[in-house]
A and B are shown apart, each in its own frame.
Chain A
């Protein structure tokens, strides 16, 4: 099995796809770094030459004032307390919450690329894993070896798993390394709020707690990896079913973009939440953004994705081991 996976990795490397992806990331990260940098500068200008510490101090006083009011609900009070401790941490540790370090950039970068950019990069690798063998005719040589078909497909799947892990890792390393030049490399322990849940119109804050940024980022990268694996598995299935790599790319691209559009307009079409593509934005649950459709939660989205992924995996393996190759 190791030999088979090695073969697949060799082919992947020789096709130079991974380099292209690294190049894309290495090109985009400085672009976004610059955009972020401009935004921070803009904010600073708006605030005038006031020191950020003064602003933060004002916010803290404001929060304290609200806490001392007797008319607020317990739940809200708890949230405000957490919020207060976060702000105090910033002040005590001399962290400017508006001038992020590289870890913050990393976090923002993956949050924004989880539903489109990363799935696209995954697609570039996975789309032709099997279909290129079919259209190039090399599948005939591959399947007339003394190796069972499912093993060959599994070796390809494992190669995909490795490449996806590699992509996610390079996103982490590149976004940290490159943006750090501008923002500095610190900020791993910055406290962040998580645990928001949305119920109807309301943002529930009862489970909100503080986690250090490194833990937050680890969580988000885990989710990003999960999403990439599901998108990869579905692309993999299409790659088995279709001979044409262009068709695989087309279908995946269409569904990913459809997902991005749907997420903005399906709030009233409830059953749309069972589509895999509206469930890709898993990091939104961590940061507490509103869900596109009511009744969606992290667990729900992950299960929907898992069902799609498992179905894709099974379809891919069954068709591949039964199919006649002409």
Chain B
């Protein structure tokens, strides 16, 4: 794509008290894409996000939002950014409307008419004049998004957007994010610990662990790479013996064998099994969940 990237992160590092927390993270977001940020606790997700939004200054590396460098052109860069970092913490003693007016006043380029637009967009018309302290978490989340969308940003950064929402809320949020990316050509960076969420929501994912990006790819590609074949055959020990001469075999649950998916070789393997007198009852391919993939890539670190 020849478009200028909406968000460009290059060789980002951060040292805190002599300890390298982030070790050279790079990625780009093109307009209109939903990008997932995945990693176990302490992997550096939040630190990276905080560097992008300008809350933490990076030790080295550059961040550009809409082509503007966050460090040298802070105000210009911030005009293109909307974000919720961790929980949507708004002023509980103000009403939803006052909160939005508060943030609208901080950017003179936002017209007052924009307030009603975003309120309608997140569907808070009925409760907007109530105090935020009376809001449910889902409503706060929506107000948080309204706040982030005020300045018509090019990049929306959402840290754990579905945190604490009920299943219906999660679904609604997911559709909302997809819709924003599609209709407003917004780039969305989402971090989440719910892998299934990322899988359903994102076009591309970056898997981050211990301060480095291990993989960045589209969800489909990453999954296809880890496609597996599940064999149900009898007797198992013999089948395992034969297959392990050809490829790597692991034993699955319920007396199954799992091998990598290798389309051209698959008929061969099958033939060999049959010739050796193994009864092949079932052969099916399975796409791994992102969770399996994640465990694979990070080497089994706990995700949460």
Residues of B within 8 A of A141 (CB): 89-90, 103, 147
Looking at A14, A144, A148, which has the most chain B CB atoms within 10 Å of its CB?
Answer: A144
Closest B residue to A16 using CB positions: B93
Residues of A within 8 A of B151 (CB): 146
Given A146-B75, A324-B57, does the pair A137, B87 have CB atoms closer than 8 Å? Answer: yes
Q: Which of B77-85, B201-209, B288-296 is the contact stretch?
A: B77-85
Complex Cα distance, B93 from A15, in Å, reads 7
Q: How many contacting A-B pairs (Cβ < 8 A)?
A: 78
CB-contact partner of B106 in A7, A11, A140, A325, under 8 A: A7
Distance of A6 from chain B, by nearest CB (Å): 7
A144 x B75 contact (CB < 8 A): no
Residues of B within 8 A of A322 (CB): 57
A143 x B55 contact (CB < 8 A): yes
Complex Cα distance, B104 from A3, in Å, reads 10
A269 at the interface (CB under 8 A from B): no
Given A6-B105, A7-B102, A10-B102, does the pair A144, B91 have CB atoms closer than 8 Å? Answer: no
Closest B residue to A152 using CB positions: B106
Residues of B within 8 A of A325 (CB): 50, 55-56
Contact with A along B70-113 (1 / 0, CB 8 A): 00001110110101011101111110001000110111100000
A138 at the interface (CB under 8 A from B): yes
Complex Cα distance, B290 from A42, in Å, reads 86
CB-contact partner of B86 in A7, A140, A324, under 8 A: A140
Closest A residue to B85 using CB positions: A140
B5 at the interface (CB under 8 A from A): no
Residues of B within 8 A of A326 (CB): 50, 55-56
Complex Cα distance, B83 from A146, in Å, reads 12
B53 at the interface (CB under 8 A from A): yes
Closest A residue to B150 using CB positions: A145
A140 x B94 contact (CB < 8 A): no
Which size bracket describes the interface of B in this complex?
20 to 34
Given A4-B106, A7-B102, does the pair A324, B56 have CB atoms closer than 8 Å? Answer: yes
Within 8 A of B (CB), among A1-46: 3-4, 6-7, 10-11, 14-15
Interface of B, secondary structure class, is loop
Distance of B122 from chain A, by nearest CB (Å): 16
A147 at the interface (CB under 8 A from B): yes
B54 at the interface (CB under 8 A from A): yes
Complex Cα distance, B50 from A33, in Å, reads 55
Complex Cα distance, B128 from A195, in Å, reads 60
Complex Cα distance, B85 from A325, in Å, reads 11
CB-contact partner of B75 in A3, A7, A138, A147, under 8 A: A147
Distance of A51 from chain B, by nearest CB (Å): 58
B89 x A147 contact (CB < 8 A): no
Complex Cα distance, B157 from A144, in Å, reads 11
Looking at B53, B87, B89, which has the most chain A CB atoms within 10 Å of its CB?
Answer: B89
Residues of A within 8 A of B54 (CB): 143-144
Complex Cα distance, B105 from A3, in Å, reads 6
Distance of A106 from chain B, by nearest CB (Å): 34
Looking at A140, A143, A322, which has the most chain B CB atoms within 10 Å of its CB?
Answer: A140
Distance of A39 from chain B, by nearest CB (Å): 42
Residues of B within 8 A of A148 (CB): 74-75
Given A137-B89, A325-B55, does the pair A10, B78 have CB atoms closer than 8 Å? Answer: no
A145 x B78 contact (CB < 8 A): yes
Closest A residue to B53 using CB positions: A144
CB-contact partner of A144 in B76, B78, B90, under 8 A: B78
Distance of B55 from chain A, by nearest CB (Å): 4
CB-contact partner of A146 in B79, B90, B105, under 8 A: B79
Chain A positions within 8 Å of B, measured between CB atoms, are 3-4, 6-7, 10-11, 14-15, 136-138, 140-148, 322, 324-326
Q: List 19 A-B contacts (CB under 8 A).
A: A3-B108, A4-B105, A11-B94, A137-B86, A137-B87, A138-B91, A140-B53, A140-B86, A142-B106, A144-B53, A146-B76, A147-B106, A148-B75, A324-B50, A324-B55, A324-B57, A325-B55, A326-B50, A326-B55
Q: A146-B78, A148-B74 are in contact. List 14 more A-B contacts (CB 8 A).
A: A10-B98, A10-B102, A14-B93, A14-B94, A136-B91, A137-B86, A140-B85, A144-B54, A144-B81, A144-B85, A146-B74, A146-B76, A325-B55, A325-B56
Pairs of residues from A and B, 8 with the lowest C-beta to C-beta distance, nearest first: A137-B89, A146-B78, A3-B105, A324-B56, A325-B55, A146-B75, A145-B106, A146-B79
